Amino acid sequence: MKILSLFCGTDTYQKQLERIRPKLYRVAFSWSHNAALADDLVQETLVKALKNFRQLRDPAQLNGWLFSILANCWRDHFRQHRDMEDIDALEECHCAIQTTPEDEHAQSQIVSKVWDAVAKLPVGQRQVLTLVDLEEFPYIEVAAILSIPIGTVMSRLSRARQSLKTLLNELAPQQPGQVSQIRRII
Amino acid sequence: MINNQEISDEHLNSFVDNELSLDEQSEIFNAIGRDEALKERVCGLRSLKEMVQHAYRNPPAYRVSPINKLNNWRPLNMLNMPSLSACLLLLLLGWGSGWIMFSGPMTTNTSKILSLFQASQSNDIAEQGNIIVHVSNSNPVRLQTALDETENLLAAYKRDNRQVQVEIIANASGVDLLRSDVSPYAKRIELMMAKYPNLDFLACSQTINKLQKSGVIVHLLPHTGIAASAVEQINKRLQQGWDYVRV
């Protein structure tokens, strides 16, 4: 029976992976702000997860395990593009979004403003922020996913939110000056 | 009793993210009730969190491409072993019967094609040999190999005063070889065409149409011919007794 369940279990496992795919994609997109790259990163993550599925001892840890693979894939992506990105300054690296007329038009929307602000955060801070806010991982799990101490998670998150607040204030359209009220003069 | 100044940003973030114990949470709730500034800080953090969640709720263009579907791919250790064994058995049976049925002519033909380039250098090839070289890959190493080998072959025939007609036909990504704006060997091809009048380059029109439909403007190298279809051209040449080499 155990042997049979080994064969049957693979399909369930694959279905579980497909269910988590949108979550992985959302986080990958929030890190890269590039749909194609995010899709590639997720695919690579899932392929690695399928290849190494025997390494996962506790199925309850599947989510965290997948996100740690995603974080490694993201790191590998930076290593492979060393000529374009400075891996030594990964924590402080900034990723600018290329702006198009459409993007500029959408600037007025809150979603674009948040994307712009998040994209301006250093990669390390961006990763912590999105794992906590989007996937609601506990700090301890974020620390395990990114292989960093929990204190670093807390300080990065704090700095990320501080910067995000400042950036969103900067990106917000200037408040128009006080419009003088029309007064009736009797 | 704690107040706004005593609560660090990290601590307040932990509160917003439900990382604190019940006692710690109650302490902060009490402080919020007394302190408007602290309340504002907490509201600010909460609205930031909600804004981030809102911004990435529906990320753009999440579309799993057919090749990225996991259903089509499984690592070997996850395959169903009995099915795998049956497939292998069938494959072996098919290969075995095919080999028995066609062992005679196929062996000769295959070995001839495989050793075609090498044979040309040792003058084993027939006096009149026409060759069609099929390029379907844009890998620069393969393209260079195709050109090197063709040039060696033509040089060998020329040296021995023997007749040969060579056609290099490109389709799929191999068409890049013949695109003036993409080909890494444009100059070399031009020189080869000038040097060997018995060498022709052909591009597959179906590939060109596909590229044009996808918005790519295709400029071919001068004097490059266009075949209606690479497969058709290869088939025609094979029927005419040409030898076929795929690079």
pLDDT tens digits for range A66-84: 999 999 999 988 777 655 5
For residue A171, what pLDDT is reported?
A: 61
For residue B70, what pLDDT is reported?
A: 54
In-domain check, residue A181: no
Q: Contacts of residue A29 in chain B, CB cutoff 8 Å?
A: 56, 59-60, 62
Mean pLDDT: which of A76-80, A102-106, A174-178 is highest? A76-80
Q: Which residues contact A167 (CB under 8 A, 6 or more apart)?
A: A116, A117, A120, A121
Residue type, A68: S
Share of chain A above pLDDT 70, in %: 70
In-domain check, residue A65: yes
CA B30 to CA A95: how far, in whole Å?
41
B17 part of contact set with chain A, CB < 8 Å: yes
In-domain check, residue B75: no
For residue A144, what pLDDT is reported?
A: 94
CB contact under 8 A, A168 and B51: yes
Q: Which residues contact B198 (CB under 8 A, 6 or more apart)?
A: B154, B163, B164, B165, B166
- 3-state helix, strand, coil split of chain B in percent (to 5) is 60, 10, 30
**Maximum C-alpha span of chain A:** 94
In-domain check, residue A183: no
Confidence check: pLDDT of A114 > 50: yes
In-domain check, residue B190: yes
Give the residue-averaged pLDDT of A7-18: 72
CB contact under 8 A, A139 and B48: no
The closest of B73, B5, B87 to B38, measured between CA atoms, is B5
Q: Contacts of residue B56 in chain A, CB cutoff 8 Å?
A: 26, 29-30, 114, 130, 134
Q: Contacts of residue B17 in chain A, CB cutoff 8 Å?
A: 132, 136, 139, 157
For residue A134, what pLDDT is reported?
A: 94
Kindly provide the residue ranges of all beta strands, DSSP E only, lying in chain B, ordered along the sequence. 129-135, 164-170, 199-204, 225-227, 243-246
Distance of alpha carbon B86 from the chain centroid:
31
In-domain check, residue B86: no
Q: Contacts of residue A30 in chain B, CB cutoff 8 Å?
A: 56, 59
CB contact under 8 A, A134 and B53: yes
Q: How many domains does chain A have?
A: 1
> CA dist A141 to A68, A91, A146, Å?
10, 19, 9
Q: Contacts of residue B71 in chain A, CB cutoff 8 Å?
A: 14
Residues 22-51 of B with CB under 8 A from A: 44-45, 48-49, 51
Do B118 and B33 have their domain in common?
no
Mutation pick from A8, A109, A154, A159 vs chain B, by most beta carbons of B within 10 Å, is A154
The dihedral through the CA atoms of A59, A65, A67, A70 has a sign that is negative
Q: Which residues contact A89 (CB under 8 A, 6 or more apart)?
A: none
Of all residues in chain A, the one with the smallest CA distance to B9 is A158
In-domain check, residue B44: yes
In-domain check, residue B71: no
In-domain check, residue A134: yes
CA A13 to CA A19: how far, in whole Å?
10
- Give the three-state DSSP class for B58: coil
Q: Contacts of residue B83 in chain A, CB cutoff 8 Å?
A: none
Q: How many domains does chain B have?
A: 2
**For residue A132, what are the domain limits?**
2-171
Do B27 and B141 have their domain in common?
no
Provide the CATH number for the domain around residue B125.
Answer: 3.40.1260.10
CB contact under 8 A, A154 and B68: no
DSSP 8-class letter at B71: G
Residue type, A3: I
Model confidence at A99, in pLDDT bands (50, 70, 90)? low
In-domain check, residue A12: yes
Model confidence at A178, in pLDDT bands (50, 70, 90)? very low
Instruction: Quote the tokens at residue B35.
Output: 């302190």
CB contact under 8 A, B55 and A25: no
Closest by Cβ to B75, choosing from A38, A50, A111: A50
Residue type, A104: E
pTM for this one?
0.51
Do B151 and B35 have their domain in common?
no
Mutation pick from A5, A8, A10, A110 vs chain B, by most beta carbons of B within 10 Å, is A10
Distance of alpha carbon A93 from the chain centroid:
15
CB-neighbour burial class of residue B89 (10 A; exposed 0-12, middle 13-18, buried 19+)? exposed
Provide the CATH number for the domain around residue A138.
Answer: 1.20.140.160
CB contact under 8 A, B17 and A18: no
| Residues in chain B, pLDDT under 70 | 1-2, 61-87, 100-128
**For residue B29, what are the domain limits?**
7-55
Model confidence at A149, in pLDDT bands (50, 70, 90)? very high
Do B51 and B115 have their domain in common?
no
Residue type, B156: A
Question: CB–CB of A113/A168 below 8 Å?
Answer: yes
Question: CB–CB of B185/B177 below 8 Å?
Answer: yes
Count CB atoms within 10 A of the CB of residue A129.
24
CB contact under 8 A, B13 and A158: yes
